Structure 1
Amino acid sequence: MPFRLRDATAQDANAIAEVYYASFRLLTFLPMLHTLESYRWYVAKRMLKEWAVTVAEDDSGIVSFLGLRGEEVGHFYTRPDRIGRGAGTRLIEAAKSSGVAALELWCFQANTRARRFYEARGFRAIRFTDGAHNEEKTPDVRYRWERPRNAPSF
């Protein structure tokens, strides 16, 4: 099933929050700090106002989203039943093509599936932490992708 990419709108807040919440429930090594309602509030009142959010959707609705602010990927999650089907790759490639020279993001160290995803797409680990700075207090890793020298930005 092909995915369509588009800019998120305020009307997408609930669907994005549901993907966000389902994604965190999948990460069983994390404490569940927030309810679905708190994700709905955060997406509507903060995320959609502070980040350029792109969604991937298919005939079932929104299946993945990515928040970008400058070179920072701050929110990037895929509905658990759609992981591995290409929506995330499409979103990362769109972010790389947005004119930035580099992208950086945080990933939990225990999220080995996501780490393999980033590394397979040219990101490299540049910093490991004990998680003291994140809300979950869970060890994480900083990743960076850089546009190859002499490569055009689209």
Structure 2
Amino acid sequence: MLIRAARPDDGPQIAAISREARAHGMPWLAVVHTPAEDVDFFTNRVLAEQTVLVAEHAGERAGFAACRGSWLNHLYVAPRHWSFGIGSALIARVQASHDRLELWAFQRNEGARRFYRRHGFHDTEYTDGDNNEEREPDVRMVWQA
């Protein structure tokens, strides 16, 4: 596995990873954007405004993490690459360059919440979902070095 800084041409692939991971890991989650909107968002906003790492596994882009300051805004692994330690490698790399990280996870996403707890995050705030696009209750999680 290789972890590298994202390049401008990674946008379509990381958008696809996000979409596929969300569909497989959270089938109950409302889909609020088209695939084209996702590509535009990841290409023109996330890659332009955040620090993005891409994990490559078996010769293809397998996952990514995106941060802005202390906020981990995205961490997704393509489902066919689950259980190879890619998410753990990405979070370890992000934690190595921060003293504190915060993120939002959906309350119903128990798999993600267990993953983040294994990596030292704890729940600090719960919401009813009124402030996210999906209108899904979420939880703010924090990690401190």
TM over 0.5: yes
Match of 1:124 in 2: 122
Match of 2:138 in 1: 140
User: What's the CA shift string for 1:2-59, capped at 9, x where partnerless?
Assistant: x110000011111111101101212111111112111111111111001000011112
- Which structure 2 residue ranges, 5 or more long, are not aligned? none
Contact preservation (8 Å) 1:64, 1:77: yes
1:68-147 paired onto structure 2 within 5 Å: 68-98=67-97, 100-147=98-145
Match of 2:18 in 1: 20
4+ residue runs over 3 A deviation: none
SS of residue paired to 2:42: helix
> Within 1, Cα distance between the matches of 2:40 and 2:50?
15
Matched-pair identity in %: 35
Match of 1:151 in 2: none
1:61 and 2:60 correspond:
yes
Contact preservation (8 Å) 1:126, 1:143: yes
Letter in 2 for 1:113: G
TM-score (norm 2): 0.96
Letter in 1 for 2:117: E
Corresponding pairs, count: 144
> Within 2, Cα distance between the matches of 1:88 and 1:97?
14
